[in-house]
Homo-oligomer: A and B are copies of this chain.
Amino acid sequence: MTMSNTGGRRKPPTIHDVAREAGVSRGTVSRVLNGGHYVSPAAAESVNAAIRRTGYVVNRHARSLITGRSDSVGFLLTEPQERFFEDPNFNVLLRGCTQALAAHDVPLLLMLAGTDDERRRITRYITAGHVDGVLLVSSHSGDPVAEELRAAGVPLVACGKPIGLGSKVSYVAADDRDGARDMVRHLLALGRRRIGVVTGPPDTPGGVERLAGYREVLAEAGVEADERLVVSGDYSRASGEAGAERLLARVPDMDAVFVASDLMAQGVLTALQRSGRRVPEDVAVGGFDDSPAAVAASPELTTIRQPWDRISTEMVRVLLAQIGGEDPAAVILPTELVKRDST
């Protein structure tokens, strides 16, 4: 592409101008700019005043050219973009990351890898070192772009445990298993004993961990496992509806269902009500995510809230640390049971 500088903008002051203005050398100005070690208070003061007077802003390109880093990070979304952009949690995540990065003066580059062409371009862009690190939102495991970045040694922080990638990848995730435990304990505390579950797909962290939490709590409560009470969906509303129907057909006197997503839970509610059952009197329903679907449902869903705001700040913290040379890290954040009307 061609971009020519359009008129109107004066060329900004350089570090040279500031140095002259402050009566010091370029080196001293640079030192003030980067931490201010080994500068006398008098010089620092003089430089700062000159910066204020001239309105100087560092030229990041020149700095990047010599340091080799870009002081910017990419926010990479691979796979089905519609689904993510429609997900309010994703929006919270994107917003949170942008703001957390802004606090460190690090710009966020939004990268959407939809087509193969985009994947190639983005991979090249990142591995060429045009960003220092990547915040990764990838639904399915074993993402090729992510794998390539990991192999290239690009600092990477995933959102949710990346199943496919090696253990060398940092990630930040909600404690799915513990959230599931909380919900099932809650259902038990209500006196329910024939508790069904509609899990997510077996290749998603949510699917695996949430089901595991369910099983753990039932086992430790001495409730005997009944595999007829376990079905799985694909996080869609329709699959929740179908799942609930299968459960009802197998275990008509089921008195509670733990559903691995709010959207599926909406489908479960529909199926239950169509079968003439009252919620929560006959069957209690617990969701997961605390999405808008939870309050849009009737009755409003009891659900598990994931701390998306904290997830975003933690992702940024871990990524910046890793860019700074620290080792990859995994952060698991606690969830919260939100009690509403469906239990």
Indicate which residue in B64, B107, B152 contacts A9 across the interface (CB closer than 8 Å): B152
- Enumerate chain B residues within 8 angstroms of A340, measured Cβ to Cβ: none
Provide the bound-state CA to CA distance between A88 and B83, in Å.
11
- Taking CB atoms, residues of chain B closer than 8 Å to A70 are 61
Total interface residues in chain A, CB < 8 Å:
67
**Contact among B106, B121, B122 for A1, CB-based, below 8 A:** B106
Q: How many copies does the complex hold?
A: 2
| Stretch among A15-23, A128-136, A157-165, A190-198 lining the B interface | A128-136
B interface footprint on A302-324 (CB within 8 Å = 1, 0 otherwise): 00000000000000000010111
Check if A75 is an interface residue, CB within 8 A of chain B. yes
Chain B nearest CB from A223 CB (Å) reads 38
A3 touches B91 (CB 8 A): no
On whether the beta carbons of A109 and B109 are closer than 8 Å, the reply is yes
A182 to chain B, nearest CB (A): 27
Q: Give A51-62 as 1s and 0s: 1 = Cβ < 8 Å from B's Cβ atoms.
A: 000000101111
Complex alpha-carbon distance, A291 and B30, angstroms: 51
A86: contacting residue among B61, B91, B128, CB under 8 A = B91
**Closest CB-CB distance, A104 to chain B, in whole Å?**
5
Could you say which residues of chain B place their CB within 8 Å of the CB of A226?
none
Contact B110 A6 (CB under 8 A): no
Known: A2-B324, A9-B152, A85-B91. A110 touches B128 (CB 8 A): no
Q: Which of A95-103, A250-258, A269-277 contacts B (4 or more CB under 8 A)?
A: A95-103
Interface residues of A, Cβ cutoff 8 Å to B? 1-9, 11-12, 34-35, 57, 59-62, 64-65, 67-72, 75, 81, 85-86, 88, 91-92, 94-95, 98-99, 102, 104-112, 114, 118, 121-122, 124-125, 127-130, 132, 152-155, 320, 322-325
